[in-house]
A = this chain, B = another copy of it.
């Protein structure tokens, strides 16, 4: 745990073969699932290996330690996530459409990789332990990307001038995350595709237009 920073910097080895790379991916996928279910501390390396269908000793061929797996998930998946946020920010499609795509993206990502989001949120976003040994700024980038989208839209007049982009980014992120949490926890049951689409519409409406009725009802 103490050498976490170092470990993160020093991948155990570069993948030499395709198979090797596949095994590494399998471990990351398995770890994502197990971390999501049990949390970092509650996850056993043996569980991860079992989930990945390999011997537990093999994990240490690919990662220095358990912490290093979490770091890899973070490094290799979070980046994609933030990349998309920036892409959306750079799209010339208007704020409503940007938000629509963001919400859709979240819901889609969750539908495809619910565990990844869970780990990101629970283990990365909240963990002092983790953040202390990594750059908290890297985590914050996601918030800042959304903040930027809102700020620019505000500058264009597509967001109310009174809105504080930073605060608003927390609202947006929080709302999205709680929706996804509802999915994962099973408190929001959505078995059909249309239901997911309906949620996207609803969330979008609430975030953009608020709860209070617009104009003369």
Whole-angstrom distance between the alpha carbons of A95 and B160 in the complex? 21
Interface residues of A in 152-205 (CB under 8 A from B): 153, 157-164, 166-168, 170-179, 181-182, 184-185, 187-188, 198-199, 202-203, 205
Whole-angstrom distance between the alpha carbons of A128 and B210 in the complex? 31
Question: Does B211 lie within 8 Å of A129, measured CB to CB?
Answer: no
Complex interface: chain B residues within 8 A of A205 (CB): 160, 162-163, 210
Whole-angstrom distance between the alpha carbons of A128 and B170 in the complex? 23
Interface size class of A (residues with CB under 8 A): 35 or more
Whole-angstrom distance between the alpha carbons of A214 and B172 in the complex? 18
Question: Does A39 lie within 8 Å of B41, measured CB to CB?
Answer: yes
Residue in contact with A174 in the complex, picked from B174, B209, B211, CB distance below 8 Å: B174
Whole-angstrom distance between the alpha carbons of A177 and B174 in the complex? 7
Whole-angstrom distance between the alpha carbons of A205 and B208 in the complex? 11
Whole-angstrom distance between the alpha carbons of A118 and B209 in the complex? 30
Given known pairs A174-B176, A174-B179, A174-B181, the reply for A211 and B207 (CB within 8 Å) is: yes
Question: Does B208 lie within 8 Å of A210, measured CB to CB?
Answer: yes
Question: Does B167 lie within 8 Å of A171, measured CB to CB?
Answer: no
Residues of A within 8 A of B (CB): 36-42, 95-96, 99, 121-122, 125-129, 131, 136, 140, 143, 150, 153, 157-164, 166-168, 170-179, 181-182, 184-185, 187-188, 198-199, 202-203, 205-215, 217
